[in-house]
Amino acid sequence: MQRAWDDALARAAALPPGSVDVQVDGEWSFAQTLRHLVMATDLWLGQAVLHLEHPFHPHGLAFEGAEAEGFDLSAFSTDVPTYDEVLTARADRVALVAGFVAEVTPEQAGRRTHQPVAPGSARDDAVVSARDPGGGVGAPALRRPRPRCDRGRPHERPPTSGGEPFVDVGLTGFEPATP
């Protein structure tokens, strides 16, 4: 997967200046997408899994409607960072994920925690586990409270105790480092 990202970054670097900041049909630009991946890594790994005191990089970009859902945006800068700053923040978060995957124990991977999106909202009783075989860190497969469609096929929510929504964040191919 990292090779595919490296290829995408190389293609973006070969584009005319400013191309990474162009939005098409209201979708995020490439730079905005990278900023969102920084925020998503900080939210799911930095906050939910590692419980860092200050998990968010100021160049992260939250999803539309985050503030309305109770997400605190105060950690994020209102200034638009340069593309080089975005690349630095993203590389730092890729290294954070790689370090976690290299060092995580099976016990840590199996730990459940409250999901981090909009604490205090109706979503707050979901839990996170890093043992889902269907996903990958940095691009997690999420089992959401409602069915979703993927190529026309709905994915049903797995049963949970007490009827609480369950969010699995997976480590595909996870093999912990052995001492």
Q: Is residue 92 part of a domain?
A: yes
In terms of C-beta distances under 8 Å and separation of at least 24 residues, what long-range contacts does 4-8 make, across chains too? 5/94
CATH of the domain at 24: 1.20.120
Q: Is residue 19 part of a domain?
A: yes
Calpha distance 114→128 (Å, rounded): 6
Band of residue 122 on the pLDDT scale cut at 50, 70, 90: low
Residue 114's nearest CA partner among 122, 106, 102, 104 is 122
Q: Is residue 23 part of a domain?
A: yes
Most confident of 7-16, 130-139, 155-164: 7-16
User: What share of the chain has pLDDT > 90, as a percent?
Assistant: 42
Q: Is residue 138 part of a domain?
A: yes
Residue 112's nearest CA partner among 41, 162, 161, 166 is 166
Full residue range of the structural domain in which residue 139 is found: 2-168
7 compared with 159, residue with greater pLDDT: 7
Written as six digits, the tokens of 36 are: 């969102």
Q: Is residue 120 part of a domain?
A: yes
pLDDT digits (tens, 9 = 90+) for 12-57: 999 999 999 999 998 999 999 999 999 999 998 998 888 899 999 9
Q: How many domains does the chain have?
A: 1
Provide the 3-class DSSP secondary structure of residue 11: helix
Written as six digits, the tokens of 44 are: 């799911």
Q: Is residue 113 part of a domain?
A: yes
